[in-house]
Structure 1
Amino acid sequence: MDFGGRSVVVTGGTGALGNAVVDALIAHNAVCHIPSHVSEDTSPQRQGARIYPGIELADQDQVDAFYANIGPIWASIHLAGGFAAKPIAKTDKAHLLAQLDTNLISCFLCCRAALKGMPQGGRIVNVAARPALEPRTGAGMTVYTIAKSGVAALTMALAEEVAKDGVLVNAIAPSIMDTPANRKAMPKADHDHWPKVEEVAATILFLASPDNLVTRGAIVPVYGRS
């Protein structure tokens, strides 16, 4: 697998999964462009990756300007998002809108802008979640489940819309991943069963790569043994 110096956008590229994806992309000769919502990103700089601070992914004008500034891209990988687990009685419209902005609206805007930078085709990879495929497992996290289900629906519909243009759109649906934050939040869980971020990154890498010639409209479960 070789990206051959192609440009790839990775939103959420400074998080646990994002770092694993960016490292894998660089190892396979991609050039990574990473938008960050913080005004001054202090993440370590890596050869083959550039961080763009102060970009709000739920703001259409900012997203459009970011992608236009990069120029032609091969792939856009949308890892940015946020989790919320509360019973619906303890949530309200503001909570729902926040989850839609963080997970669905940001993904929609990045998909929309990325397509303008793919005149010769390309790849888009989104991140749904296990409750998007199994909504009953979203009990206690209803607003999150709604937002991630929207990402799954967006992925499938868009995949049909742009296949004729040579753009293959897919998503992964992770269960709980093995990250330091998740281990701290759930110290008594069986961490060995959780998928490792490097393992999830490998699936993302294939879907975004030139080696993926036919897969589109898939919501790929990356559950490990959990």
Structure 2
Amino acid sequence: MSLQNKTLVITGAAGGLGREVVRVAQEQGADVIQLDLTFPEELQAENTYSVDLTDTDAIKEVFAPLDAIDGLINVAGGFDMGPTLYELTQNGWDKMFSINVTTARNAIAAAVPKMLAQGRGAVVNVGAFGALSGNANMSAYCASKSVVMNMTQSLSEEVKHKGINVNAILPSVIDTPANRVAMPEANYEEWVTPTQLAHVMCFLVSEEANGIHGALIPVRGLS
């Protein structure tokens, strides 16, 4: 599999998973444009853009000068283990939808018209295996990720006959330092790794995946 001569936009590129997706994509030959709210100094380089992904106008400004976009990988998002649904504040609810849904929707709105104009492209979103059903104290997270998953399938139906593939991965718990701290008694060997997820996402923007449309693909490691 090769991403040689492909231009990819990766959101959430400064995070733990995002960094690994960038690394794997570049290793496979892609030119990567990295977007995130902020980048630490060691990651700041050409084609890194600090931008509020919830700001529609700011996103459009970043995408405007791009001539071609072969793939958009929406890694940006987040998780909160909230209280019960009846105790959840409006701010808590809105936060999950802002970082999981609005960020992806804004990037899609900026990228897909360019893909339509060139007659090709691929979009990969990140849903959640746990959001296939509701879970206690995770109502806002599960609801927001289920929206991302339905949004993926809806967009696929809109553009699959126009040369654009749209799919999503559904990870379980990802093996990150933060999750190890939060769950010190867990069996980390069963968790999916950022590298495993990155390889699947890069496959989904490659030519080899051009027959896959609207798929919600569980990538769970051994969990």
Would you say the 8 A contact 2:10–2:34 is kept in 1? yes
For residue 45 of structure 1, report the CA deviation from its aligned partner. Answer: 4.9
Q: How does 1:176-215 map to 2 (within 5 A)?
A: 176-215=173-212
- Alignment partners' CA distance in 2, 1:43 and 1:131: 33
2:36 and 2:76 in contact (8 A); partners too: no
When the two structures are superposed, what TM-score results if normalisation uses the length of structure 1?
0.93
Distance in 2 of aligned mates of 1:15 and 1:41: 10
How many residue pairs get aligned? The number is 220
Separation (CA, whole Å) in 1 of partners of 2:42 and 2:68:
25
* CA shift for structure 1 position 41: 4.1
Partner of 2:121: 122
- Is 1:7–1:31's contact at 8 Å kept on the other side of the alignment? yes
State the alpha-carbon separation in 2 of the partners of residues 21 and 175 from structure 1: 17
Q: Which amino acid aligns with 2:204?
A: L
1:172 to 169, 173, 190: 169
What is the aligned-residue RMSD (CA, Å)? 1.4
Deviation of the 1:192 alpha carbon = 0.5
SS of 2:60's partner is: helix
State the partner residue of 1:73: 69
What is the identity, as a one-letter code, of the residue corresponding to 2:59?
V
Percent identity for Structure 1 against Structure 2: 33
Q: Summarize the alignment of residues 24-39 of structure 1 with structure 2, pairs less than 5 Å apart.
A: 24-38=24-38
Contact 1:171/1:220, CA 8 A, preserved across alignment? yes
In structure 2, the gaps of 5 or more residues are none
Runs of 4+ in 1 over 3 A off after TM superposition: none
Gaps of 5+ in 1: none
Alignment of 1:1-226 (within 5 A): 1-38=1-38, 41-45=40-44, 50-53=47-50, 55-86=51-82, 87-118=84-115, 119-133=118-132, 135-136=133-134, 138-226=135-223
Looking at structure 2, the residues matched to 223 and 139 of structure 1 have their Cα atoms a distance apart, in angstroms, of 20
Shift of 1:12: 0.8
How far, CA to CA, are the matches of 2:32 and 2:149 in structure 1?
24
The answer as to whether partners of 2:17 and 2:198 remain within 8 angstroms in 1 is yes
Task: Give me the whole-angstrom Cα distance separating, in 2, the residues matched to 1:173 and 1:190.
Answer: 20
How many angstroms does 1:65 deviate by?
Answer: 1.2
- TM-score by length of structure 2 reads 0.94
Q: 2-side partners of 1:60 and 1:155: how far apart?
A: 19
Q: How far 1:202 moved relative to its partner?
A: 1.0
Instruction: Return the letter of the residue paired with 2:70.
Output: W
